[in-house]
Amino acid sequence: MGEQNILKVNPLPTLTWNHLMLNFANMPLEEKAQVKADIPAEFNGIETGMGGEFVSYVESHAGSVQLIRAGKGEDLGVIRDDNAGASAEVILIDAAEDSRVTFYSHVSGTKANGTQATRLVKVIAAARAQVTVIQSQTAGNDTMIGDDFGAIIGDEAGVHLIQVQLGGKAAFAGGCAALKGYKAGFTEETIYFGDESRRLDFSYVTRHTGKKTTTSMLASGALFGNSDKVYRGSMAFIHGCSRSKGREAENVLLFSPTARNRSIPLILCDEEDVDGQHAASIGKINKELMYYLQSRGLTESQARQLAVESRFNPVIDEIPDEAVRQEIHAYLERRMNLD
């Protein structure tokens, strides 16, 4: 790898004690010749989870953008990202009123070109539009992953983000949803897998400004080896977003005495008439469950794999490509087969 840029990414929306090292993350990316992408004005200024430095890096290195426009009432079906694995790529989705689009991008160990793969997806979802974005990766141990997302969501529109972060030397990922419209909705599902010395670093933010807006953020992960993970999940209820609701939950299974898990789920609230809840559960796998599975003839490794996949499968099943789903299952089996 040549010269590196150290970017400040995944900023916490409000600061806390510096010694926790959670206020932001440092992400090394390659210093390359800049080939700036031409970004339509309406997509400028959309906040993302990974923050301005990452956005600026990707936009100035991508060279071009994939612009997906769904016209009023149009259903584009599933659009597959043929450029996945590029060093830097920008995808912009403009979903007009009542339109529908699913964008799907997968980076595998064989697809990543070189030592980094960064993806930036920005979405504008107009009234009643439905947009689903799926970013998955099973990159090799030498690849730096950056997956960022930002959306502006209009009246009664729904945006669904799925991130499947299973490989890479390090994976930085984030998402931000600005719920501006009346009854705008955002759901986010993340699964992550850490082994060897993989570093995983996440930051998700939802900003509720519209009335009766809803958020659901669910993260589930498994940490093996010397992996080190940080999860930031923040819901901000901004004055005026009355009757809004937010739910956030993270479940982490720890399988190694040398893995490290850090979680910081935030609720920021200056609106009285809201309902926000978050929950986190971090710990070892249930001993009774392991005993039961082994008493039924599974090896310890198989039992572990079953426990992890049972949590991951509902998310993996949403990937609209059977071959990729198979690839992910094979990847997890290979990674978890420690017998």
Partner 1 sequence: MPSLSGKVNETVEDQRPEIQGVNSSIYDFRYETHASFETDAGLTPEIVEQISKEKNDPDWMREFRLKSLEIYQKTPVPNWGPPLDGLNMDQIITYVRPDTPMRGKWSEVPDDIKNTFERLGIPDAEQKSLAGVGAQYDSEVVYHNVKDEVARQGVIYTDMESALRGPYADLVKEKFMHLVPPTDHKFAALHGAVWSGGSFVYVPAGVHVDIPLQSYFRLNAAGAGQFEHTLIIVEPGAYLHFIEGCSAPKYNVANLHAGCVELYVGKGARLRYSTIENWSKNMYNLNTKRALVEDDGIMEWVSGSFGSHISYLYPMTILKGNNSHMDFTGITFAGKTQALDTGAKVVHNGKNTSSHISTKSISKDGGICVYRSEVIIGKDAIGAKSSVNCDSLMLDSKSRSDTIPAMDVRNADSDVGHEAKIGRISDEAIFYLMSRGLSEEDARAMIVSGFAEPVAKELPLEYAVEMNNLIKLEMDGSTF
Residues that bind partner 1 (CB under 8 A): 14-18, 20, 22-23, 237, 239, 242, 252, 254-284
Instruction: Strands of the chain (E only): list them.
Output: 4-9, 25-30, 65-70, 75-80, 88-95, 100-108, 116-125, 130-138, 144-153, 158-165, 170-179, 185-194, 199-208, 214-223, 228-237, 244-254, 260-269, 274-283
The answer to whether the CB of 300 falls within 8 A of the CB of 339 is: yes
Distances from the Cα of 138 to the Cα of 133, 135, 142, 162, 332, angstroms: 17, 11, 11, 14, 9
Cα–Cα distance between 27 and 9 in angstroms, integer?
A: 7
Cα–Cα distance between 196 and 170 in angstroms, integer?
A: 11
Which CB atom, from 43 or from 186, has the smaller least distance to partner 1?
Answer: 186
Which CB atom, from 111 or from 262, has the smaller least distance to partner 1?
Answer: 262
The answer to whether the CB of 180 falls within 8 A of the CB of 209 is: yes
CB of 10 to partner 1, least distance (A): 14
The answer to whether the CB of 306 falls within 8 A of the CB of 293 is: yes
CB of 95 to partner 1, least distance (A): 31
CB of 86 to partner 1, least distance (A): 35
Which CB atom, from 93 or from 238, has the smaller least distance to partner 1?
Answer: 238
The answer to whether the CB of 226 falls within 8 A of the CB of 194 is: no
Which CB atom, from 75 or from 275, has the smaller least distance to partner 1?
Answer: 275
Cα–Cα distance between 123 and 176 in angstroms, integer?
A: 10
CB of 168 to partner 1, least distance (A): 22
Which CB atom, from 110 or from 277, has the smaller least distance to partner 1?
Answer: 277
Which CB atom, from 236 or from 324, has the smaller least distance to partner 1?
Answer: 236
Of the candidates 144, 120, 256, the residue with the CA atom closest to the CA atom of residue 200: 144
CB of 268 to partner 1, least distance (A): 5
CB of 285 to partner 1, least distance (A): 9
Which CB atom, from 59 or from 271, has the smaller least distance to partner 1?
Answer: 271
Q: In angstroms, how far apart are the furthest CA atoms of the chain? A: 61
Give 34-85 as a DSSP string: -------GGGTT---SS-HHHHHHHHHHS-SEEEEEE-TT-EEEEEE-TTTT
Which CB atom, from 6 or from 279, has the smaller least distance to partner 1?
Answer: 279
CB of 264 to partner 1, least distance (A): 5
CB of 59 to partner 1, least distance (A): 29
